[in-house]
Amino acid sequence: MGSSEFEQAKAHLHVDCAQPPAITWQREFDDEGKKVAMLSMTTDIFTVIPLIFKMLRLHVEGIAKNQVAVYDPLRKWMNNCYRGVPLGGLGSRSIGRSYRGYFQQFQIFPRFYEEKHVLANQFSAFVSHPGGKSYSTVLKLVCCYFCQARLFDAQNDEG
């Protein structure tokens, strides 16, 4: 980059803080603005109604075929700490942790949560990228190893 280009770029980047900007919104403080007539709640409702009917129709058809739905729109959804982190797409698996950090609840089949302690090194996460690279890791509680090491050191110091 030559010196003339540098000077031009420097001139464009200079901002005088004492002066107001040249391009601004021109509006007074007590202005209420314009009412947007084309965006109202009724048009939104009429847009969403076909989607709601389709979702309910598919849900009823699934119940008639004894299929387990991934998402039940008629059931109250409780957001709490036990939902877990999804490992994949919608309806895939998830794993949750307790407040102490232990892997406590996991879901392998949709809508069925198993609430029992998961032993260490029991879950593996596999990630594959479009380039062909695949990564895998074992979900484990890292501080558990530190706690065991401290307990082992404390027992050796006493004896």
Burial 60-69 (b: 16+ CB within 10 A, else e): eeeeeeeeeb
Q: Is the per-residue pLDDT at 152 higher than 50? A: no
**By mean pLDDT, which of 4-13, 27-36, 46-55, 77-86 is the weakest?**
77-86
What mean pLDDT is predicted for residues 54-76?
A: 80
Q: Is the per-residue pLDDT at 49 higher than 90? A: yes
- Alpha carbon 111 to chain centroid distance? 19
- The domain segmentation of the chain, as residue ranges, is 38-74, 85-158
Greater model confidence, 66 or 136: 66
pLDDT at residue number 91: 47
What mean pLDDT is predicted for residues 136-146?
A: 57
Q: Is the per-residue pLDDT at 38 higher than 80? A: no
pLDDT at residue number 142: 53
**Which residues are CB-neighbours of 141 under 8 A, at least 6 positions away?**
101, 102, 103, 120
Q: How confident is the model at residue 79 (pLDDT cuts 50, 70, 90)?
A: low
pLDDT at residue number 93: 56
Greater model confidence, 97 or 40: 40
* pLDDT 10s digits, 85-123: 555 554 455 566 665 666 556 565 555 666 666 565 566
What mean pLDDT is predicted for residues 19-31?
A: 75
Q: CA-based angle 25:27:30, to the nearest 5? A: 150
